[in-house]
Chains A and B, each alone.
Chain A
Amino acid sequence: MKKKIIFVCATGIATSTVVAEKVTEYCKEKGINVEYQQCNVASLPTFDGNADLIISTTNVPYKLETKVVNALPIITGFGEEELLDKIVDILKEE
């Protein structure tokens, strides 16, 4: 299964990088090949509709077509497992 994810954070470099690694590795273990891009929140609207999922570590102040998931649990560790499973479920549905 191949899926496209956009990882977004405020600057598009720090937290989105860490989250991207974690998520793509987890998905790979579950048989999902992830193709991804990172961006900052300001440029997010231009990517909307182009991905299967948007995973964010910041406030997304837009109404978007693509589903958005809050990835803070991956940084704090709280609810990280559940979040990763939820992401896999969403991707399998899309």
Chain B
Amino acid sequence: MNVAKNIELSEGLVITEMDCKSNKEALEMLSEKLFENNYVKETFFENVIKREENFPTGIKTKTIGIAMPHTESEHVNKSTISVGILKKPVIFHEMTNENETVEVNIIFLLALADAKKHLNVLQNLVEIIKDEIILKSMLNMSKKEIVDLLNKYIN
């Protein structure tokens, strides 16, 4: 296993059954987890929000909306992914069309210190996003199951 290509994933960074009124609230909760565990700097959260406002990351798949917010590597200490599963979807805007809204149930908050190094991780995440069955099953998984799933596909 080539350690450089893989990233650390942990249950402590997964929040299931999130109940939030806005995408900002959800992102705040997930960013907190990352900051508490030293994966990101203090500036991470505000930059994720700023970026999301200017360059949204919502993606509509056939059934479930997802979002993959992230920001520049300078705000990241160590690469990882924080996952949020929402009972009731929150609104994000669509990646290539900021006027379109997406109802998001799964948030993959990416903390990437070096995207080129983690190309594998990104490619595999995209494969998960394309798979309706996996996305749907994630809605009911426990934190451990989600981490196991991501580890299986991404690492």
Spell out A's residues near B (CB within 8 Å): 9-11, 13-15, 17-18, 21, 41, 56-59, 70, 72, 74-78
- Collect the chain A residues with CB atoms within 8 Å of residue B115's CB: 13-14, 17
Contact B96 A56 (CB under 8 A): yes
Sample of 20 A–B contacts (CB below 8 Å): A11-B51, A13-B70, A14-B70, A14-B110, A14-B115, A14-B122, A15-B68, A15-B122, A18-B122, A18-B123, A56-B96, A59-B96, A59-B97, A72-B95, A74-B126, A75-B95, A76-B60, A76-B61, A77-B61, A77-B129
Spell out B's residues near A (CB within 8 Å): 51, 54-55, 57, 59-62, 68, 70-73, 95-98, 110, 112, 115-116, 119, 122-123, 126, 129-130
Say whether, besides A11-B71, A75-B129, A58 and B95 are in contact (CB < 8 Å): yes
Contact B73 A13 (CB under 8 A): yes
Inter-chain CA distance A76–B60, complex, in Å, is: 8
Nearest A residue to B123 via CB reads A18
Inter-chain CA distance A77–B127, complex, in Å, is: 9
* Least CB distance, A41 to chain B, in whole angstroms: 7
- Collect the chain B residues with CB atoms within 8 Å of residue A70's CB: 96
Nearest A residue to B122 via CB reads A18
Nearest A residue to B47 via CB reads A11
Inter-chain CA distance A13–B130, complex, in Å, is: 20
Nearest B residue to A10 via CB reads B55
Say whether, besides A59-B55, A76-B59, A14 and B68 are in contact (CB < 8 Å): yes
Inter-chain CA distance A15–B97, complex, in Å, is: 15
- Collect the chain A residues with CB atoms within 8 Å of residue B59's CB: 72, 75-76
- Collect the chain A residues with CB atoms within 8 Å of residue B62's CB: 78
* Apart from A70-B96, A75-B126, 6 more pairs, CB < 8 Å: A10-B55, A13-B116, A14-B115, A56-B96, A76-B60, A77-B130
* Least CB distance, B129 to chain A, in whole angstroms: 7
Inter-chain CA distance A77–B135, complex, in Å, is: 14
Inter-chain CA distance A17–B54, complex, in Å, is: 20
